[in-house]
Amino acid sequence: MADSRLQFVRMIAARAGALVMGVVASVIIARALPPEGRGTYYMAVTVGTAAMALGHLSVEQAQTAMWSDKASRASLEGNSVPLGLIVGAGAALAAMVAAAVFQGYANMPDLWLLATACAGVPLGVGVLYASNIAVLRDRPHVAALAPLAGAVVQCSCLAAVGLTGHLTVYTVVVVWSVSLAVSLAVLIGAGGVTVGRPRMGLARTTCGKGLRLHAGSAASYLLLRSDVFLLNALAGPRAVGIYTLAVTLAELSRLAVDVVAQITLPRQFGRDVGESAAVAARTVRLMVLLGAVSALTMVVAVSVLITPVYGAAYAEAAAFVAWLVPGILLLSAGRPVATFLLRFRSPWFVVLPSLTALAVNIGLNTVLIPAWGGVGCAIASTAAYTALVAVQVTSFVRMTGIPWRQLLPTASDTAQITGRLRRRPKELGMGRAQ
């Protein structure tokens, strides 16, 4: 129990530290750049992250699906970093070709800035694959330490350049790419993943399995970030600068929920359908509880602090956060259900809900952004996230026979879970099924 408690404390400390560094970095950027400049920087980084998300081939999902085969684990681990760098390089090249084609349209940044962002893509894909392996190896504290190290370097560099008064959009993007290199180095150096000689046969098998899941993964990413592209095209960089700050702040509320998801992921493996379903249901109850508390805390904190900390130019972000937080936390709380469906159902049970929610998101954004700007974008996103989770929960309930009410904490369940959260981190989310 002591080891589990130490692991939990390390993870919370690492995630909290990374979030604090992220907040400090966002303040430095907001104070140095006007909303238009922040919007331009964020669009360049979004192109880079889009290249990662659309080009990573869902290898991390294939790793998760194949982890049950113990004989393949060492090879999956050894392949993760080299495969990430290779796949990421291909994704970066594809992104630059697309950027050249669309240059001059939809308020896109210039090619040099986009090339700088895309330089971080291979590193980011390597971090993605390696972090997933660290979690599957039951070393989530290392997976949490990597982004902390990257965030510390990012924040330190931004602060150092900012003190000279020479912080520009370009330097912010350079620092972002460097932070990904630091995260990957920590994952390897801290023992989260071992780099081995690539096994090309297994690499092809992993990529092939991942590709069968990739439509859903790509749709899930576009569900989360298509609003930024649409907002940039329909409202311009200033709106993007304010809205993406709100997204950054709203996602801070996921700290406790994401830690629970990482800790409990290994417990869903090595079990039959019934046991895995029970673990998923208990975990969702805990995550719903933590999410509700986090959502309320974040909305109140942002409404009070946004103007004093970030300046009057970003005051609108408070309203955006209030609309975004419910959807973001609902989506996070549904992760155990999505993992269960990934293991025990056809990949289309993951793909189709994501595609449906993406269509809802694009349709609503196209209508609401011209009318309400960033608020309309936030409303559309929350509606789409809710639609996705509703479809996933419906599939889960029909397959397992577990009533949907058992995914919501009751008064007694809440007391039991909060008591265990205080006293026994080892048993997070593992209370009796109601």
What tens digit of pLDDT does each residue of 202-218 get? 999 999 989 887 887 78
Distance CA 416, CA 35 (A): 45
Distance CA 179, CA 153 (A): 6
Q: What is the pLDDT, as a whole number, of residue 419?
A: 65
Confidence check: pLDDT of 238 > 50: yes
Provide the angle, in degrees to the nearest 10, between the axes of the packed helices 255-264 and 140-163: 150
Provide the angle, in degrees to the nearest 10, between the axes of the packed helices 200-235 and 348-372: 20
**N-term to C-term CA, the chain:** 25
Distance CA 410, CA 407 (A): 9
Looking at residues 7-16, what average pLDDT do you find?
Answer: 71
Distance CA 341, CA 392 (A): 8
Q: What is the pLDDT, as a whole number, of residue 130?
A: 95
- pLDDT confidence tier of residue 103, bands split at 50, 70 and 90: confident
Span of 15-24, 163-172, 249-258, 260-269 with lowest mean pLDDT: 260-269
- pLDDT confidence tier of residue 1, bands split at 50, 70 and 90: very low
Confidence check: pLDDT of 433 > 70: no
Confidence check: pLDDT of 347 > 70: no
Looking at residues 101-124, what average pLDDT do you find?
Answer: 90
Distance CA 37, CA 65 (A): 41
CB 257 within 8 A of CB 290: yes
Determine how many CB atoms are found less than 10 A away from the CB of residue 231.
27
Cβ within 8 Å of residue 11, ≥6 positions away: 140, 141, 144, 259, 262, 263
Looking at residues 362-389, what average pLDDT do you find?
Answer: 94
Structure tokens at 36: 């238009």
Distance CA 47, CA 158 (A): 21
